[in-house]
Amino acid sequence: MNFNRYLQFVVKYNTVFIFLIMLVVSAIVSDVFFTSSNLFNLIRQVTPVGIISMGMLLVILSGGIDLSVGSVVAMSGVLCALFTQTMPLPLAITAALVSGILVGSLSGYLVSIHKMAPFIATLALMSIVRGIGFISSKGAPILVSENASALTDFGSGNTLGIPNPALILFLVFAITSVLLKYNVFGRIVIAIGSNEEAVRLSGIKVSTYKFSVYAITGSLSAIAGIITTARTAVGSPVMGVGMELDVIATVVIGGASLSGGKGSAINTLLGVLILGMIGNIMNLMIIPSYLQQIIKGLIIIAAVLLQRFQAKNN
């Protein structure tokens, strides 16, 4: 009896448990894991994926998917670096951000107004936007102008001992949590993912919300691209290849349902950290990267199976 209750508890908070297990395992297998330099490194590595995952969470909650995020990271990173050479820094950042919002809005428009399948619409944009990134950079990495040192300083600097990009991640996470819990927007996005027709018949304009989640994801992807460029001082058109899969994986590890309506910001953040730790610890153990991919895939399967178990128990 008691065992069953413990089991149910574990299954209910499975994301937290997977996170804790990962922490313990990491501490055991590597004595450098808990050093501050490694933890900072970890947090810097996961920041771009983490920021986008909050947007992806909204998209997935609404019952959609966005495959274009990796391409938007590259495009906005390239554009940001490029613009620093000709524009004042604030303008360059704004322009790069706007490019991301535009791509997200286009996905949102195709999905909400033209009822295109999100997978298809964003798959097309993934290809288009990747191309734009290559064309605008002529296929080569673009260096951030030396006049824009404020950007690179920000990217590699700390505030109160915490890496600046990580602060942005926590800010985005906090806003998303509040939005989902206390704001009408979050509530309706979840409701749409649960039963779009019921929401429509309740007199709610579904298209506005569906449009918005893609626009938000586009802007967050651009922020991730700009941050990556700020950290490395280079905008490269090959940034973020395959990143959409990592982002989707973190949301899924965080317990969100790909059919929509189920997921939370805190669990998604844990998902980000779990996926980040898997990579980090395997790097520390010098596991070859090909093998890393296999292990990563297996862990995703295990996480989702655990959630299935939870759903059944319910």
Binding site for another protein (CB under 8 A): 182-185, 187-188, 190-191, 194-195, 197-205, 261-262
User: Rounded CA gap, 246 and 279, in Å?
Assistant: 11
Q: Report the nearest approach of another protein to the CB of residue 218 (Å).
A: 21
State which residue, 133 or 260, has the beta carbon closest to another protein: 260
Q: Report the nearest approach of another protein to the CB of residue 252 (Å).
A: 18
Q: Report the nearest approach of another protein to the CB of residue 207 (Å).
A: 9
Pairing of strands 158-159, 142-143: unpaired
Q: Report the nearest approach of another protein to the CB of residue 114 (Å).
A: 16
State which residue, 180 or 224, has the beta carbon closest to another protein: 180
The SS3 assignment for 257 reads coil
User: Rounded CA gap, 112 and 278, in Å?
Assistant: 36
User: Rounded CA gap, 278 and 223, in Å?
Assistant: 24
State which residue, 199 or 243, has the beta carbon closest to another protein: 199
State which residue, 157 or 205, has the beta carbon closest to another protein: 205
Q: Report the nearest approach of another protein to the CB of residue 190 (Å).
A: 8
User: Rounded CA gap, 59 and 151, in Å?
Assistant: 29
State which residue, 182 or 309, has the beta carbon closest to another protein: 182
User: Rounded CA gap, 127 and 212, in Å?
Assistant: 22
State which residue, 133 or 255, has the beta carbon closest to another protein: 255
- What token pair was written down for 272? 């980000």
Q: Report the nearest approach of another protein to the CB of residue 308 (Å).
A: 16
Contact between 299 and 203 (Cβ < 8 Å): no
Residues with Cβ < 8 Å from 49, sequence gap 6 or more?
224, 243, 246, 247, 250, 272, 275, 276
